Amino acid sequence: MIDTQIAPTHLPQTMAPRNPGMALDMDKVMRATANRSAIERRAATLPGRRSLKKDHQAAWLARAITCIDLTTLAGDDTPGRVARLCAKARQPVRADLLEALGLSGLTVGAVCVYHDMIAPAVAALAGSNIPVAAVSTGFPAGLSPFALRVAEITESVKAGAREIDIVISRRKVLTGDWQGLYDEMRTFREACGDAHVKAILATGELGTLQNVARASMVCMMAGADFIKTSTGKESVNATLPVSLVMMRAIRDYHDDTGYRVGYKPAGGISKAKDALVYLSLLKDELGDRWLRPDLFRFGASSLLGDIERQLDHHVTGAYSASWRHALA
């Protein structure tokens, strides 16, 4: 039996109050800086800082499952593929493994799809309380006309998406147009209505860690419920240095306003051991309250398969073939 203090069946169901945003404070934005060498030194130590074994490791991996946005963003997505993915979201780990671990009711955090796949996902998840997240605003480049990007949000909310992953205009960051970024993000937030909004910064295309810090702060000021690293389509996606910068921006914003903003690393996180590193960094930088799906998500398509394989090893003592833990 795994650690019941960490096991997701013991998580409180309360949601963090939404971030209402605030007026753009340019003094605070310009004070957001990043010491690359110090950040990279700190990030380099993270994989070896904690060693989770046996029941403790299994408990943390179970927690990680509850924070996964199970994702399919392919041009050949079909309703059938999405339905199979949603079935996996409802039952992410085999029933016999859950019984051996002493867990029940384990699900992922959300299912993330393109707009056209919202309806099949909503139908497949009916009665589960697993939200559908939709990528929007001209994902992944964010270069379609502004009015169309706003309309896309509106249509996705109407279709049943309860979370919207928007992409920011990278050029506004690269040219220092912080007012323009704030106004854009504020408009997107208003278009989402009751749906939670995750702001994708596409950090691999922002040039510097200082830009990442400032873009994070501006998006939170404009009302983002989450800030997210990447679309998963860039050449560089989630990294530990970027995560450290974004988490510290979240901490500063919480210290100033009292509101908690969520964090979502996405792209390139496919191994259970990597998920444990991100969770340990989150715990160190932001504390236990962020270790819940209302404030933390992994954007991933293959991570769940490796976590289930590690849990199988924990229960049976032997590694199974990866094809036995297919997602769809």
Instruction: Determine if the peptide bond prior to 131 is cis (ω within 30°).
Output: no
Q: For residue 298, list its beta bridge partners.
A: 68
Q: What is the DSSP letter of 246?
A: H
CA–CA gap between residue 20 and residue 224 (Å, rounded): 8
> Which one-letter DSSP state was computed for residue 175?
T
Among candidate residues 69, 165, 274, 312, the one labeled active-site is: 165
Cis peptide before 140 (omega within 30 of 0): yes
Query: What is the spatial distance between Cα 150 and Cα 155, in angstroms, rounded to a whole number?
Result: 9
- Say which residue the tokens 């046996």 belong to: 54
**Identified catalytic residue from 264, 274, 294, 306:** 264
Residue 165 annotated to the active site? yes
Indicate if the alpha-carbon torsion angle 120, 123, 124, 129 is positive or negative. positive
Q: Which of 172, 228, 294, 312 is catalytic?
A: 228
Residue type, 204: G
Nearest to 73 by CA among 108, 113, 111: 113
Mark whether 54 is an active-site residue. no
The residues that are catalytic are: 165, 228, 264
